[in-house]
Amino acid sequence: MSESKPQYLRSVLESIPAYKPGKKVVGPEGRSIKLSSNESPHGPLPSVREAIAQASAEINRYPDPGAAELTAALAARLDVPEEHLALGAGSVGVLQQLLAAVGEPGSELVYAWRSFEAYPLLAELSGMTSVRVPLREEVHDLDAMADAITDRTRMVLVCNPNNPTGTTVREDELTAFLDRVPDHVLVVLDEAYCEYVRDPAVPDGLDLYRDRPNVAVLRTFSKAYGLAAVRLGFLVGHPQVTSAVRKTLVPFAVNHLAQAAGVASLAAEKELLERVQATVEERARVRDALLEAGWTVPPTEANFVWLRAGEDTLDLAEACAEVGVSVRPFDGEGARVSIGTPEENDVFLSVATEYPRRR
Given a cut of 70, whether residue 2 has pLDDT beyond it is: no
What would the pLDDT profile of 227-262 be if each residue is shown by its tens digit?
999 999 999 999 999 999 999 999 999 999 999 999
pLDDT at 1 (0 to 100): 45
Contact at 8 Å (CB) between 112 and 162?
yes
Q: What is the pTM of this model?
A: 0.94
Range name among 14-18, 136-140, 290-294, 349-353 with the lowest pLDDT average: 14-18
Segment 81-89 shows an average pLDDT of 98
The per-residue pLDDT for 24 is 80
- 91-130 pLDDT per residue, tens: 999 999 999 999 999 999 999 999 999 999 999 999 999 9
Closest CA to 168 of 210, 132, 200, 211: 200
Q: Which amino acid does the sequence have at 323?
A: V
Residue 277 pLDDT greater than 80, yes or no: yes
φ and ψ of 126, to 5 deg: -80, -10
Under a CB-based contact definition with an 8 Å cutoff, are residues 87 and 228 in contact?
no
- How many CB atoms lie under 10 A from the CB of residue 170? 14
pLDDT, the chain, mean: 95
> Does 14 have pLDDT greater than 90?
no
Model pLDDT for residues 60-78, shown as the tens digit of each residue? 999 999 999 999 999 999 9
Answer yes or no: are the C-beta atoms of 283 and 305 closer than 8 Å: yes
What is the percent of the chain with per-residue pLDDT over 70, rounded to a whole number?
A: 97
The whole-number pLDDT of residue 43 equals 86
CA distance 268 to 271: 6
How far is residue 9 from each of residues 16, 121, 124, measured CA to CA in Å? Answer: 13, 16, 14
Look at residue 3 and tell me whether its pLDDT is greater than 90.
Answer: no
- For the packed helices 90-102 and 239-247, what is the interaxial angle rounded to 10 degrees? 100
Confidence bin at 358 (pLDDT 50/70/90): low
Contact 330, 135 (CB under 8 A): no
Residue 26 has pLDDT above 90, yes or no: no
Residue 359 confidence (pLDDT): 45
- Looking at per-residue pLDDT, the higher value among 20 and 162 belongs to 162
- Average of pLDDT values for 68-91? 98
- Given a cut of 80, whether residue 21 has pLDDT beyond it is no
**DSSP E strands, 136-214:** 153-159, 186-190
**Residue 7 — very low, low, confident or very high, per pLDDT cuts 50/70/90?**
confident
Amino acid at 240: Q
Phi, psi for residue 110 in degrees, rounded to 5: -105, 130
pLDDT tens, residue by residue, 194-223: 999 999 999 999 999 999 999 999 999 999
Strand order through the sheet with 233-236? 85-88, 233-236, 215-220, 186-190, 153-159, 108-113, 129-134
